[in-house]
Chain A
């Protein structure tokens, strides 16, 4: 789960990391009021969960509260990088002497937190030459000590008050990383303004699997309405932009199903992983959602392991009986209790394929015919 910039900065502020003065606003008038409070020129930053806002025109500046109102009116309701702007962050415009980059991510190879820092801030870290980036893994059983942070400040060539502030700030940032179960915490740019260090931007992405430890945290969802509906059933769902609805069991095989459909000239409408051991009821609910999206064809691809083919067949039959399946349906069903499953489907006039390729080809063909209707 990604936090909006203003939420990340609220956390930073609480934990003693300096941020620019200002706060979030949801209306132009509110933006003007914040600008008034801040006094002087302000930055008006659209709050969206996408990077590259600046280049996309999502960050503007204003000299007066009136200008801030106007800029906010322009930005609010706009789309920036595919996300609708519902709030803007109005902050003091900083005097920038230098920009640094500082982040803590998970190094999946070393299986440890990794501190990433550079004297080139303000740009995407991927664009910074590798030799100008300091990367140091943290021993998670020890934690991040001030000496470690001082070492990184030295490697960056920071001195005096700035070096001291940097070490203090990094130690605090690591505590946030750990306390919030973060996947990524990032300050880019970390601005040097005179002898002060200020987090001019902030990112905090929290591991969804740690939710049970953080029930007090707000919910920020990138999911579409439909994605939310299916995820509430407890299944993994992603909307895509094709016309063949897909249901398979397991993330890998669902991806492979989408690939095979595409290779055969079709386009998947979604990624629906019914899970390794999906039960009849959630599977029937998920099927019902797929039907309601009005695809040109539905392709169910099941390799039964823990998932039993008769359960899958019963889920399909339930949906057919209760609401009808008015679009072409292709079922590929093999594995545990395959014979039972195939028999149940046959009783209800549905033929099942054994071969994944053959079934995919059929689904693409039927979707194409549906398009010509």
Chain B
């Protein structure tokens, strides 16, 4: 089953003629993703990696039945691109673009809510259901199909954890990158709910970090989950008042600390790993 995407998902790449767009279109096709069309205004008629390019998302939907979109459009134009996808009836939009303005992100989310669509990102590595499909920029080789779901705020750290899970023999059902920004489409709770209902997922790994209160809110939901949750959080030793790369990763006025997140998650029944490579051990324990 997997969540969000599977082998039938038909993907349109917005910004397909750009450097990142064309490279990752190739990577996605190699992985088996059904990339059916690309969009680059003014470049209709071209082809990228054998994929036809159109001026509008509407054309990609009409001609190829695209159901999901991935955005590789530069930040100043990302909002326009997402709104176009929503208008064309796309129900899943993955926004890889980083540095999308906060107010643009809020407007995007409001529109998506109205259209009943799901946004992943901005500033995300995307979503992958190993062996079925991937929409995003994650490396192909580290994932194996299996029964552990992963939801993460950060890219490379989640690669690290996915790779160590694969090595320990735990494949993944779906891996979702929420994005490192403050305003993103999916919350931990949204994704945990999907994993809870997914028959192929037996345990969930939550990769969080300091800043905000998303992990604390997730902890409340975890209390009622039937599946075990293992968490790892980055930023235990980050000083307050300093933004550690991600827009959301900052301890301000004592909010969003490592300690409060760990306490909440443990109170919610999650096992929290102190070091990244301990996640696999805790998953083994949880599934015993």
Chain A interface residues (CB < 8 Å from chain B): 51, 106, 108-109, 111-113, 124, 126, 139-141, 178, 181, 183, 207, 209-210, 212-213, 236, 238, 240, 248-256, 258-260, 262-263, 268, 271, 273, 276-277, 303-306, 334-336, 355-357
Q: What range describes how many residues of B lie at the interface?
A: 35 or more
| Shortest CB distance B271–A (Å) | 17
Which residue of chain B has its CB nearest to the CB of A360?
A: B275
Q: List 18 A-B contacts (CB under 8 A).
A: A106-B182, A108-B182, A111-B109, A111-B183, A126-B255, A139-B110, A140-B103, A140-B110, A141-B114, A238-B243, A250-B155, A252-B209, A252-B245, A253-B156, A256-B232, A258-B238, A304-B139, A305-B159
Contact of A112 among B75, B110, B141 (CB under 8 A): B110
Q: Counting CB contacts under 8 A, is B87 at the interface?
A: no
Q: Counting CB contacts under 8 A, is B268 at the interface?
A: no
Query: Besides the contacts A253-B157, A276-B155, what 7 more A-B pairs have beta carbons closer than 8 Å?
Result: A112-B106, A141-B110, A212-B75, A250-B245, A252-B154, A256-B276, A259-B234
Stretch among B42-50, B53-61, B94-102 lining the A interface: B94-102
A16–B212 Cα distance when bound, in Å, is: 33
A236–B249 Cα distance when bound, in Å, is: 12
Q: Is A210 in contact with B103, judged by CB distance below 8 angstroms?
A: yes
Interface string of B182-222 (1 = CB under 8 A from A): 11000100000000000000000001011011100100000
Q: Is A252 in contact with B155, judged by CB distance below 8 angstroms?
A: yes
Q: Is A251 in contact with B275, judged by CB distance below 8 angstroms?
A: no
Q: Counting CB contacts under 8 A, is B227 at the interface?
A: no
> Which residues in A have their C-beta under 8 angstroms from that of B246?
251-252
Contact of A259 among B102, B111, B125, B236 (CB under 8 A): B236
Q: Is A303 in contact with B159, judged by CB distance below 8 angstroms?
A: yes
A204–B186 Cα distance when bound, in Å, is: 28
A250–B249 Cα distance when bound, in Å, is: 12
| Shortest CB distance B225–A (Å) | 19
With most chain A CB atoms within 10 A of its CB, the pick from B103, B109, B232 is B103
Chain B interface residues (CB < 8 Å from chain A): 20, 75-76, 99-103, 105-107, 109-111, 114, 125, 137-139, 141-142, 152-160, 163, 180, 182-183, 187, 207, 209-210, 212-214, 217, 232, 234-239, 242-249, 253-255, 274-277
Q: Is B253 in contact with A251, judged by CB distance below 8 angstroms?
A: no
A248–B154 Cα distance when bound, in Å, is: 13
With most chain A CB atoms within 10 A of its CB, the pick from B110, B153, B232, B248 is B110
| Shortest CB distance A63–B (Å) | 34
Q: Is A210 in contact with B101, judged by CB distance below 8 angstroms?
A: yes
| Shortest CB distance B197–A (Å) | 22
> Which residues in B have their C-beta under 8 angstroms from that of A263?
236, 274-275
With most chain A CB atoms within 10 A of its CB, the pick from B207, B214, B249 is B249
> Which residues in B have their C-beta under 8 angstroms from that of A273?
245
A140–B107 Cα distance when bound, in Å, is: 6
Which residue of chain A has its CB nearest to the CB of B19?
A: A277
Contact of A126 among B139, B207, B245, B253 (CB under 8 A): B253
Which residue of chain B has its CB nearest to the CB of A276?
A: B155
| Shortest CB distance A364–B (Å) | 13
Q: Is A252 in contact with B156, judged by CB distance below 8 angstroms?
A: yes
A248–B276 Cα distance when bound, in Å, is: 15
Q: Is A305 in contact with B155, judged by CB distance below 8 angstroms?
A: yes
